Amino acid sequence: KNEVEQSPQNLTAQEGEFITINCSYSVGISALHWLQQHPGGGIVSLFMLSSGKKKHGRLIATINIQEKHSSLHITASHPRDSAVYICAVRGATNKLIFGTGTLLAVQP
């Protein structure tokens, strides 16, 4: 079992839909990251969380430390949101442990 699990692995949505991607982890962490990987491979850091909730534009990230769970929400999804979304946790060694990613396709 992976230390960081994401669901779903693949997600297809219609433009405008509300999207949720989930991340569960099994190790103690100091922070959790949500990353976006574009089709060309480049990675953008979206959020770094250690508690609570953060919002940036149409993106919202939440984390529940007790339940070892985080969610990434996209409101009013758009085709340009199509990408792979990766959850990564920072463990005791200060290294990032990555989930396998969620491939999101938003259709017009």
Partner 1 sequence: GAVVSQHPSWVICKSGTSVKIECRSLDFQATTMFWYRQFPKQSLMLMATSNEGSKATYEQGVEKDKFLINHASLTLSTLTVTSAHPEDSSFYICSATLLVHQETQYFGPGTRLLVL
Angle at 78 (CA atoms; ends 41, 83), nearest 5 degrees? 15
| Distance, CA of 19 to CA of 83 (rounded, Å) | 13
Residue type, 22: N
86 binds partner 1 (CB under 8 A): yes
Q: Which range in 13-21, 51-59, 74-82, 85-93 contacts partner 1 by CB under 8 A?
A: 85-93
The residues, any chain, with a CB within 8 Å of residue 82's CB and separated by 6 or more, are 39, 104, 105, 106
- Min dist. Cβ of residue 76 to partner 1 (A): 24
The residues, any chain, with a CB within 8 Å of residue 53's CB and separated by 6 or more, are 60, 61, 62, 63
Query: Applying CB under 8 A, which of residues 39, 40, 57, 108 lies at the interface with partner 1?
Result: 40
- Min dist. Cβ of residue 18 to partner 1 (A): 25
101 binds partner 1 (CB under 8 A): yes
Q: Which range in 13-21, 40-48, 59-67, 72-80 contacts partner 1 by CB under 8 A?
A: 40-48
Binding site for partner 1 (CB under 8 A): 30-31, 33, 35, 40-45, 48, 86, 88, 90, 94-96, 98-101
